[in-house]
């Protein structure tokens, strides 16, 4: 046991070490040369601005650090999609910060930049968080304009959200700290207040070159849209500041005067650490994603005092449900049990699989948490719903539908942590991205796909072989092995947490020891947005 524990511990710590190494590269943005150019202009870099703005010694929760990882290689890449987003504290107030990184293609907007900005706005709108935009962008990345400009969830949706947030009373403050061109000019000016840095900030619908070609007028960018123009002549911007630091101090001052937000009323008492050592999570979680383990042992190292008030403990055992506290906040936990269990009827149930009884139990528990106004935490390590004639005749589809219904219609805030597998309909029932979790993060051990790699590869191999045979090609054993390896490698690459984080299917990859912080900050954010909708499941399949 100790040998297995130590092996797991080494593997899981190594996985987190790899995440940290990749994050270091991402944090470098466009690299040293690009950073030096910004410094020569007297500007702070994006992450320096965020750091300066945040209250000292307070937690910071970055959203989408891995966005666009390994994408846009033909254009030299786009680290973190050229924008830094996250939840932090400014003058004691929790808020969403969005900062363009001008070292990455002059802060130009790639398709994933728009998706990431929209995710940041979605989080702000759901939780009524004030938003601070630190704008420094050359506008849309023209070679990819067709993928970012015209559709519903593209660039224009951001300005629509500015307007919707303003009408909802969600505070938005913008600082123009560099270029702010064309459609991008609307973002700061649609905020409640816009400030500009003298000498480096500029905002205009068309730059000097375009003005020259369009109407023949000769004018420089500073006269066209600099700080003096907009603070003294046009009245477009509200505050003028001599440098980045003064601008950020002004934002801090304004944030210190905001009124207190309404309270949603989620219960919180004094925080207590888990009694069991959190560090042991690394040793409990197996290296192999198919190996069994007791999810209760993970839960006990995540919750206050290691205490779980378990619901229907002896029924539907392949899902663990129960009430607990995380950093003082009351939560309802829905977690996949990964060890093999035996029902009272004598049925052996595989770990990580959702059976009819566990789906029924989880559905009822989710409804109870809505009744009690308790936020829900989903801990995913799920391979899907049980298949086969026995399950189908037992009504697994309708039982699964009940669980999906309860998750979909739940009005209390939901938070999802992908610990291990997140496959197929199990991803849906356990509150995957499509089911509006307020936050969804993964551990480095996560795997997200429609099904496991080995099963999927065999199915894909059959399709590939049938296609080749139809063309008259002979499939030798060597050719089959080569095809299987190629298909398996490609599929496994697509199941990694990096692949998911790059496409914003998850908000990020975290150290298991950060889980309590993520959930606590998430509930604190959600507590600023009172629940206005009544829970109603509609028609349940019975």
| Residue 127 dihedral angles phi and psi, to the nearest 5° | -110, 5
- Displacement of CA 538 from its chain's centroid (Å): 29
Residues for the chain: how many in total?
Answer: 542
Give the span between the Cα atoms of 376 and 322, in whole angstroms: 10
- Give the single-character DSSP code of 536: -
Q: Do domains 31-257 and 278-446+506-527 have the same CATH topology?
A: yes
Tell me which of 87-91, 396-400, 415-419, 482-486 is least confident: 482-486
Average pLDDT score over residue span 36-59: 96
Paired strand residues for 422:
382, 448
SS3 154: coil
Tell me the pLDDT tens digit for each residue of 130-172.
Answer: 999 999 988 888 788 888 888 888 888 999 999 999 999 999 9
Retrieve residue 240's tokens: 């003028």
Mean pLDDT for the chain overall: 91
Neighbour count for residue 521 (Cβ, 10 Å): 22
User: Which residues contact residue 428 at a Cβ distance below 8 angstroms, ignoring those fewer than 6 apart?
Assistant: 404, 407, 434, 435
Q: Which of 33-42, 116-125, 217-226, 343-352 has the lowest mean pLDDT?
A: 217-226
Share of the chain above pLDDT 70, in %: 96
d(CA 490, CA 155): 31
pLDDT in tens, 297-335: 999 999 999 999 999 999 999 999 999 999 999 999 999
Q: What is the pLDDT of residues 56-74, one digit of tens each?
A: 999 999 999 999 999 999 9
The DSSP letter of residue 100 is E
Beta pairing class for 447-449 and 414-423? parallel
CB 244 within 8 A of CB 201: no
pLDDT band at 469 (very low <50, low <70, confident <90, very high): confident
| pLDDT score of 216 | 79
Query: What pTM did the predictor assign?
Result: 0.94
Strand partners of residue 353: 384
CB 515 within 8 A of CB 419: no
Bridge-partner residues for 131, per DSSP? 96, 172
Query: What 3-state DSSP class applies to 21?
Result: helix
Q: What is the pLDDT of residues 393-422, one digit of tens each?
A: 666 888 889 999 999 999 999 999 999 999
Taking alpha carbons only, the member of 296, 315, 314 closest to residue 306 is 296
| DSSP letter for each residue of 229-259 | IIIIIS---SEEESSHHHHHHHHHHHHTTPP
What does the pLDDT read at residue 453? 66
Helix orientation angle between 46-53 and 244-255, rounded to the nearest 10 degrees? 40
Q: Which CATH superfamily is domain 31-257 in?
A: 2-enoyl-CoA Hydratase; Chain A, domain 1 (3.90.226.10)
- The predicted-structure confidence for 487-530, as pLDDT tens digits, reads as follows 778 877 889 999 999 999 999 999 999 999 999 999 999 999 99
Helix 396-409 and helix 356-372, axial crossing angle in degrees, nearest 10 = 20
Work out the end-to-end distance of the chain between its first and last CA atoms, rounded to an integer number of angstroms: 44
The residues spanned by each domain of the chain are: 31-257, 278-446+506-527, 452-495
- The pLDDT of residue 430 is 97
Helix (H, G, I), strand (E, B) or coil at 320: strand
pLDDT category, 183, cuts 50, 70, 90? Answer: low
**What whole-number distance in Å separates Cα of residue 176 and Cα of residue 133?**
8
Say what the pLDDT of residue 207 is: 67
What letter does residue 268 receive in the DSSP assignment?
B
CATH 3.60.21.10 fits 278-446+506-527, yes or no: no
């Amino acid at each position: 046991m100790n040998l297995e524990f130590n092996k797991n511990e080494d593997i899981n710590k190594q996985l987190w070490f790899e995440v940290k190494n990749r994050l270091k590269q991402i944090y470098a943005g466009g690299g040293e040369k690009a950073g030096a150019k910004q410094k020569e202009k007297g500007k702070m870099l994006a992450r320096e601005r965020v750091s300066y703005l945040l209250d000292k010694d307070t937690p910071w929760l970055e959203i989408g650090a891995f966005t666009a990882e390994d994408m846009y290689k033909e254009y030299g890449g786009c680290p973190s999609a050229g924008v830094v987003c996250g939840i932090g504290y400014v003058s004691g107030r929790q808020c969403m910060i969005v900062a363009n990184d001008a070292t990455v293609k002059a802060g130009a907007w790639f398709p994933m930049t728009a998706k990431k900005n929209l995710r940041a706005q979605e989080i702000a709108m759901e939780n009524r968080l004030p938003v601070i935009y630190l704008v420094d962008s050359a506008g849309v990345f023209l070679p990819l304009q067709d993928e970012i400009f015209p559709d519903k969830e593209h660039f224009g949706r951001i300005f629509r959200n500015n307007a919707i947030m303003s009408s909802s009373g969600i505070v938005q403050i913008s600082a123009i700290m560099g270029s702010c061109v064309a459609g991008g000019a609307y973002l700061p000016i649609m905020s409640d207040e816009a400030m500009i840095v003298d000498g480096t900030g500029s905002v205009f619908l068309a730059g000097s070159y375009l003005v020259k070609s369009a109407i023949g007028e000769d004018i420089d960018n500073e006269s066209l849209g600099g700080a003096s123009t907009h603070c003294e002549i046009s009245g477009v911007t509200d505050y003028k500041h001599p440098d980045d630091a003064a601008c950020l101090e002004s934002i801090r001052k304004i944030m210190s005067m905001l009124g207190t937000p309404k309270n949603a009323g989620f219960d919180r008492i004094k925080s207590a650490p888990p009694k069991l050592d959190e560090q042991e999570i690394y040793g409990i979680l197996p290296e192999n994603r198919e190996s069994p383990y007791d999810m209760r042992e993970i839960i006990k190292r995540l919750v206050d005092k290691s205490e779980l008030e378990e619901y229907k403990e002896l029924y539907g055992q392949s899902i663990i449900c129960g009430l607990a506290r995380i950093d003082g906040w009351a939560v309802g936990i829905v977690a996949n049990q990964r060890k093999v269990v035996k029902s009272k009827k004598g049925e052996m149930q595989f770990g990580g699989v959702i059976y009819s009884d566990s789906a029924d139990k989880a559905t009822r528990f989710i409804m109870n948490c809505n009744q009690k106004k308790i936020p829900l935490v989903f801990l995913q390590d799920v391979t899907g719903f049980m298949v086969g004639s026995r399950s189908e005749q037992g009504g697994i589809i309708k039982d699964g539908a009940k669980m999906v219904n309860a998750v979909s219609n739940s009005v209390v805030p939901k938070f999802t942590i992908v610990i291990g597998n997140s496959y197929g309909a199990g991803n849906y029932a356990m509150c995957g991205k499509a089911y509006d979790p307020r936050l969804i993060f993964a551990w480095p051990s996560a795997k997200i796909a429609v099904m496991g790699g080995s099963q999927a590869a065999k199915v894909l191999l059959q399709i590939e072989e049938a296609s080749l045979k139809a063309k008259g090609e002979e499939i030798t054993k060597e050719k089959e092995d080569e095809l299987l390896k190629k298909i398996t490698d490609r599929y496994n690459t697509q199941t990694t947490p990096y692949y998911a984080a790059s496409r914003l299917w998850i908000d990020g990859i975290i150290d298991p020891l950060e889980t309590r912080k993520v959930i606590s900050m998430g509930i604190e954010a959600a507590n600023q947005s009172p629940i206005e909708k009544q829970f109603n499941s509609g028609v349940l399949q019975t």
